């Protein structure tokens, strides 16, 4: 039964994360922010205009790295604070204060990039030879040279950074603060509704009448805010288009893919192949769900239900530990120690409360430990969510210790590989340790419904829709709610065909996803899962050598491109074979579900 959400002040402290390793109090945060602003002034007066040769380049970068390291905890504290309660006035003010301070600081620091890129390439190459430490950073900088603007322009643009980031903040405020859901009724009974309860519970509710009523009530509330949300999104898009044009990129796609270090063919392939080749498998899965639930018709509101509504294991936070440890034990002692600390030192925010960000994420501040946000519902599938976020944590736990601050983060294209890898390890472990066909069916349906549906279908359909949006923007057009609704509906109808009725409200799902404010992010989930599916197969077949190679990949951080990182793990993503193999594997899983269902029903 879904209960009303408590206020943040009412949840148990044990269910919350402990931000004290960042700052002991808000006061300590404000002190650190003031000190940082002074340090930036001192840094600028020491180094501005004084970088002339290779040795001064490396001296500058050493000091610049130290400044960046001090920037991390204040930024992390401000964002984590508001993510657990967007309605908290103090957290809002603290976040705004950081935003405006960050804009000033970035503006004052913009000279670093401008002055380095004004030097001859030979000087930068000599600096790389003299010190390996900043080699990767300088290589990436040289790549950017043709898109760099005059130093005064760069300084001005940096000063506007918090304004350019405003659409994302506005989106979150609309979604988590202004949007308030009324209870909905079924057969004369009232049920509470919120963003978190809809996405965490009602979407998967086994009672069809309640599930569809919740979907309708949820969609109706989204509809009330569609025009504001569309205007907010258009603001984000126009800012990106202007930046792309100003910097001289051929298209907005080239601009957004530049830092991902992959070309457009890899981006397009991910969307085109999955849209055409995965759709038949997923339609088969939708029909299986429809049959299992005895539904007259299958609607968009029914796609998140579990295959076996009578079999949904429940699990406490405490019980999740054993599953996580057993499944990820193959990653070694160091990895397991990180998992132990994440529970015992309260790195994870499990609470469900009003104003908390939806979904789950992992923040991995350099020089500190990772933080994970999740809203624990007690359903067994949360173990997959937690394993996923611990995959991000394990990635940066390794990369942050092995690399300097500039080299720790890999391309966005690769970012979801370590997280989805852990979901695969969890699934493999659960399958190996049970002979019960019902449990096996639950595990496989969890992989299909959570791991693959979420990453290969939900996020991929977001990516297909997002590509259509950017094609409009690239052609100099804008968007509004009507256009966005039509684009989203079109993508859903193309994928599901006549198997699933795309009912009213489905077109509004574009309003639910913050990823659209993070560039070309949605498609990277399927890219990461393609890599991790293939690596997890290697680990199953080869054991320790494959694990050791994977740990080396994690430690490499951002020192290599996605193609090189994948190659280190034994996967060649320059061909479409890994993606086709992964799509075929999803097909095999769905066939296995059909077989198990026949076996269980025949008993």
Same domain flag for 145 and 258: no
Q: Which pLDDT score is estimated for 5?
A: 82
d(CA 400, CA 366): 6
What does the buried/exposed string (b/e) look like for 8-27 if buried means 16 or more CB atoms within 10 Å of the residue's CB? beebeeebbbebeebbeebe
* Token pair recorded at residue 134: 């900043």
Q: Kindly report the CA angle at 76 between 70 and 79, in degrees rounded to 5?
A: 145
Q: Which pLDDT band holds residue 435 (cuts at 50, 70, 90)?
A: confident
Q: Which domain holds residue 99?
A: 8-150
Q: Which pLDDT score is estimated for 313?
A: 81
Residues 6+ apart with CB under 8 A from 557: 399, 400, 402, 403, 407, 408, 409, 410
Same domain flag for 134 and 280: no
Closest Cα to residue 425, out of 546, 307, 317? Answer: 546
**Cβ count within 10 A of residue 294:** 7
Same domain flag for 143 and 258: no
* Token pair recorded at residue 192: 């509470």
Same domain flag for 600 and 470: yes
Question: Which one has a higher pLDDT value, 310 or 292?
Answer: 292
Please write the tens of the pLDDT for every residue from 74-101. Answer: 999 999 999 999 889 999 999 999 989 9
Using the 3D structure, point to which of 117, 150, 183 is the last residue of a domain: 150
Same domain flag for 466 and 603: yes
Is residue 603 predicted with pLDDT exceeding 80?
Answer: no
Same domain flag for 275 and 146: no
> Average pLDDT for residues 35-40, to the nearest whole number?
96
DSSP 74-98: HHHHHHHHHHT-TT-HHHHHHHHHH
Is residue 162 predicted with pLDDT exceeding 50?
Answer: yes
Residue pair 394/355 in contact by the 8 Å Cβ criterion: no
Residue 439 lies in a domain: yes
Residue 231 lies in a domain: no
DSSP 381-438: THHHHHHHHHHHHHHHHHHHHHS-TTTS---GGGTTHHHHHHHHHHHHHHHHT---HH
Residue 261 lies in a domain: yes
Closest Cα to residue 578, out of 257, 263, 256, 266? Answer: 266
Please write the tens of the pLDDT for every residue from 506-560. Answer: 999 999 989 999 999 999 989 999 999 999 999 989 999 999 999 999 999 999 9
- Phi-psi sector, 471: left (phi>0), alpha (psi -120 to 50), beta: alpha
Is residue 206 predicted with pLDDT exceeding 70?
Answer: yes
Q: Which pLDDT score is estimated for 1?
A: 46
Same domain flag for 265 and 139: no
Is residue 265 predicted with pLDDT exceeding 90?
Answer: yes
Bridge partners, 373 (sequence order): 349, 361
**Cβ count within 10 A of residue 318:** 8
HSE-up of residue 195 (Cα within 13 Å, Cβ side): 23
Residue 363 lies in a domain: no
Residue 346 lies in a domain: no
Using the 3D structure, point to which of 108, 125, 150 is the last residue of a domain: 150
Q: Which pLDDT band holds residue 232 (cuts at 50, 70, 90)?
A: very high
CA 465, distance to chain mean position in Å, is 17
How many domains, in total, are found in the chain? 2
Q: Is the dihedral of CA 167, 173, 176, 179 positive or negative?
A: negative
Using the 3D structure, point to which of 99, 130, 150 is the last residue of a domain: 150
* Token pair recorded at residue 50: 């004084």
Is residue 3 predicted with pLDDT exceeding 70?
Answer: no
CATH assignment of the domain containing 584: 1.10.1370.20
CATH assignment of the domain containing 106: 1.20.140.70
Q: For residue 377, give the DSSP letter.
A: -
The fraction of the chain above a pLDDT of 70, given in percent, is: 99
CA 525, distance to chain mean position in Å, is 8
Length of the chain: 603
Is residue 193 predicted with pLDDT exceeding 80?
Answer: yes
Residue 438 lies in a domain: yes
Can you give the pTM of this predicted structure? 0.87
Residue pair 530/582 in contact by the 8 Å Cβ criterion: yes
Is residue 105 classed as helix, strand or coil in its secondary structure? helix
Question: How many Å is the maximal CA-CA distance in the chain?
Answer: 80
Same domain flag for 430 and 566: yes
Residue 362 — φ and ψ, nearest 5°?
A: -125, 125
* Token pair recorded at residue 590: 């769905």
Average pLDDT, the chain: 93
Q: For residue 178, give the DSSP letter.
A: I
C-alpha dihedral over 403, 406, 412, 416, to 10 degrees?
30
* Token pair recorded at residue 554: 């994690």
**Distance (Å) of CA 491 to CA 405, 431, 510, 517:** 39, 34, 11, 20
Residue 309 lies in a domain: no
Residue pair 593/445 in contact by the 8 Å Cβ criterion: yes
Is residue 417 predicted with pLDDT exceeding 60?
Answer: yes
**Distance (Å) of CA 493 to CA 93, 215, 459, 502, 506:** 42, 18, 16, 7, 10
> Average pLDDT for residues 381-408, to the nearest whole number?
96
Q: Which pLDDT score is estimated for 123?
A: 95
Is residue 215 predicted with pLDDT exceeding 90?
Answer: yes
Q: Are strands 189-191 and 361-363 parallel, antiparallel or unpaired?
A: unpaired
Residue 602 lies in a domain: yes
HSE-up of residue 526 (Cα within 13 Å, Cβ side): 33
Q: Which pLDDT score is estimated for 288?
A: 94
Please write the tens of the pLDDT for every residue from 441-459. Answer: 988 998 898 788 888 899 9
């Amino acid at each position: 039964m879904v209960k009303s959400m408590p206020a943040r002040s009412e949840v148990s402290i044990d269910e919350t994360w402990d931000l004290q390793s960042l700052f002991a109090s808000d006061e300590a945060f404000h002190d650190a922010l003031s000190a940082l602003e002074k340090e930036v002034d001192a840094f600028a007066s020491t180094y501005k205009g004084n970088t002339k040769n290779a040795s001064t380049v490396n001296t500058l970068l050493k000091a610049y790295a130290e400044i960046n390291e001090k920037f991390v905890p204040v930024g992390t504290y401000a964002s984590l604070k508001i993510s657990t309660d967007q309605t908290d006035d103090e957290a809002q003010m603290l976040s705004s204060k950081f935003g405006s301070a960050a804009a000033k600081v970035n503006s004052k620091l913009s000279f670093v990039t401008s002055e380095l890129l004004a030097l001859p390439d030979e000087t930068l190459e000599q600096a790389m030879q003299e010190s390996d430490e900043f080699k990767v950073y300088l290589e990436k900088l040289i790549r950017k040279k043709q898109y760099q603007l005059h130093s005064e322009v760069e300084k001005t643009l940096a000063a506007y950074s918090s304004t350019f980031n405003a659409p994302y903040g506005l989106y979150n405020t609309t979604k988590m603060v202004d949007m308030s859901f009324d209870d909905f009724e079924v057969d004369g009974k009232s049920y509470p509704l919120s963003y978190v309860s809809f996405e965490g519970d009602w979407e998967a509710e086994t009672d069809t009448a309640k599930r569809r009523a919740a979907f309708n009530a949820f969609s109706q509330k989204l509809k009330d805010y569609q025009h504001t949300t569309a205007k907010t999104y258009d603001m984000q898009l126009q800012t990106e288009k202007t930046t792309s044009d100003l910097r001289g990129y051929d298209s907005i796609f080239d601009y957004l893919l530049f830092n991902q270090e992959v070309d457009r063919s890899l981006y397009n392939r991910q969307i085109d192949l999955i849209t055409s080749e995965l759709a038949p498998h997923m339609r088969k899965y939708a029909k299986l769900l429809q049959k299992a639930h005895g539904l007259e018709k299958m609607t968009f509101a029914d796609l998140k239900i579990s295959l076996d509504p009578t079999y949904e294991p429940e699990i406490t936070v405490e019980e999740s530990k054993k599953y996580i440890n057993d499944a990820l034990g193959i990653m070694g002692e160091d990895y397991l120690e990180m998992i132990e600390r994440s529970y015992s030192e309260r790195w994870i925010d499990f609470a469900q409360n009003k104003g908390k960000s939806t979904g789950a994420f992992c923040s991995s501040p350099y020089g500190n430990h990772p933080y994970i946000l999740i809203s624990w519902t007690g359903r067994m599938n949360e173990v997959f969510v937690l394993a996923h976020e611990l995959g991000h944590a394990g990635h940066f736990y390794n990369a942050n210790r092995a690399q300097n601050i500039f080299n720790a983060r890999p391309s966005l294209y690769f970012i979801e590989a370590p997280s989805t890898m852990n979901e695969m390890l969890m699934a493999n472990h659960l399958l190996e340790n049970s002979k019960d066909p019902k449990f096996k069916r639950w595990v496989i349906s969890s992989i299909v419904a959570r791991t693959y549906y979420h990453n290969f279908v939900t996020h991929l359909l977001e990516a297909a829709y997002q590509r259509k949006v950017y094609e409009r923007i690239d052609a100099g057009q804008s968007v509004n709610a009507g256009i966005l609704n039509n684009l989203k509906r079109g993508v859903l109808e193309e994928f599901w065909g006549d198997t699933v009725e795309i009912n009213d409200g489905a077109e509004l799902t574009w309003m639910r996803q913050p990823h659209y404010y993070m560039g070309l992010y949605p498609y990277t989930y399927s890219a990461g899962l393609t890599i991790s599916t293939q690596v997890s197969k290697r680990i199953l077949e080869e054991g320790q050598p494959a694990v050791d190679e994977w740990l080396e990949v994690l430690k490499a951080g951002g020192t290599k491109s996605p193609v090189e990182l994948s190659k280190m793990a034994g996967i060649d993503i320059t061909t479409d074979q890994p993606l086709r193999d992964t799509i075929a594997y999803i097909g095999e899983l769905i066939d296995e579900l059909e077989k198990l269902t026949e076996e269980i029903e025949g008993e």
